[in-house]
Structure 1
Amino acid sequence: MYIEKEQQKTLKKEILIKGTALHSGKDAEIRLKAAPADTGIIFYRSDLNQKIKIKAEPKAVVNLVRNTTIGSQEIKEAKVSTVEHLMAAIWGSGIDNLIIEVLGPEIPVVDGSAYPYYQHLLENGLQEQQQKRKVFKVEAPIYALQDDSYITILPYDGFKISYTLDYQHPVIGSSYFEFDADKIDFAEEIAKARTFGFAAEVEKLHEQGLALGGSLENAVLIEETKTVNPLRFENEFVRHKILDVIGDMFLNGRIMGHIIAVKSGHRLHVKLAEKIREKMLEEEI
Structure 2
Amino acid sequence: MHIDSKRQQTIKQEITYTGTGLHTGNQQITITCKPLTANSGIRFKRTDLPSAPEIEAVVDNIVSTKRSTSLGTDQWQISTVEHLLAALNGLKIDNLLIEIDAGEVPITDGSSLVFTELLQKAGIKQQNKKCEIHAIEEAVWAREGDTYLVALPGPELKITYTFVSDHPAVGNQFGEFTIDEKTFINQIAPSRTFGFASEIEALQEEGLALGGSLDNAVLIGEEEIVNELRFEDEIVRHKILDIIGDLALIKPFRGHIIAVRSGHALNRRLAHKIKQQVMHCW
TM-score, length of structure 2 as denominator length: 0.97
Residue of structure 2 equivalent to 1:147? 145
Query: Does structure 1 retain, via aligned residues, the 8 Å contact 2:91–2:181?
Result: no
Matched, 1:213 2:214: no
Tell me, in whole angstroms, the C-alpha distance in 1 between the residues paired with 2:220 and 2:104. 24
Query: Does structure 1 retain, via aligned residues, the 8 Å contact 2:165–2:172?
Result: yes
Amino acid at match of 1:226: E
Please state how far the C-alpha of 1:4 moved relative to its aligned partner.
4.1
Please state how far the C-alpha of 1:51 moved relative to its aligned partner.
2.7
Question: Can you list the C-alpha shifts for 1:214-272, whole angstroms capped at 9, x where unaligned?
Answer: 00000001101111111111100000000000000110031111000000000000000
Residues 7, 144 of structure 1: alpha-carbon distance in 2 compared, 3 angstrom cutoff? same
Residue of structure 1 equivalent to 2:235? 237
Matched, 1:76 2:75: yes
Match of 1:136 among 134, 137, 160: 134
Amino acid at match of 1:86: L
SS in 2 for 1:185: helix
Identity %: 45
Residue of structure 2 equivalent to 1:3? 3
Residue of structure 2 equivalent to 1:265? 263
Amino acid at match of 2:86: A
Amino acid at match of 2:68: N
TM-score, length of structure 1 as denominator length: 0.96
Tell me, in whole angstroms, the C-alpha distance in 2 between the residues paired with 1:135 and 1:38. 14
Query: Does structure 2 retain, via aligned residues, the 8 Å contact 1:8–1:131?
Result: yes
Please state how far the C-alpha of 1:6 moved relative to its aligned partner.
2.0
Please state how far the C-alpha of 1:184 moved relative to its aligned partner.
6.2
Residue of structure 2 equivalent to 1:204? 202
Tell me, in whole angstroms, the C-alpha distance in 1 between the residues paired with 2:41 and 2:216. 28
Matched, 1:64 2:65: yes
Residues 23, 183 of structure 1: alpha-carbon distance in 2 compared, 3 angstrom cutoff? closer
Question: Can you list the C-alpha shifts for 1:145-180, whole angstroms capped at 9, x where unaligned?
Answer: 011111010011110000000023222211101010
Please state how far the C-alpha of 1:183 moved relative to its aligned partner.
9.2
Root-mean-square deviation (CA, aligned residues, Å) is 1.3
Question: Can you list the C-alpha shifts for 1:122-167, whole angstroms capped at 9, x where unaligned?
Answer: 0110111000111121111110001111101001111000000002
Matched, 1:96 2:94: yes
Match of 1:124 among 117, 122, 125: 122
Equivalences for residues 31-42 of structure 1 within 5 A: 31-42=32-43
Question: Can you list the C-alpha shifts for 1:63-98, whole angstroms capped at 9, x where unaligned?
Answer: 1110000112xx512x11000010000111221111
Residues 205, 183 of structure 1: alpha-carbon distance in 2 compared, 3 angstrom cutoff? closer
Residue ranges of structure 1 left out of the alignment (5+ in a row): none
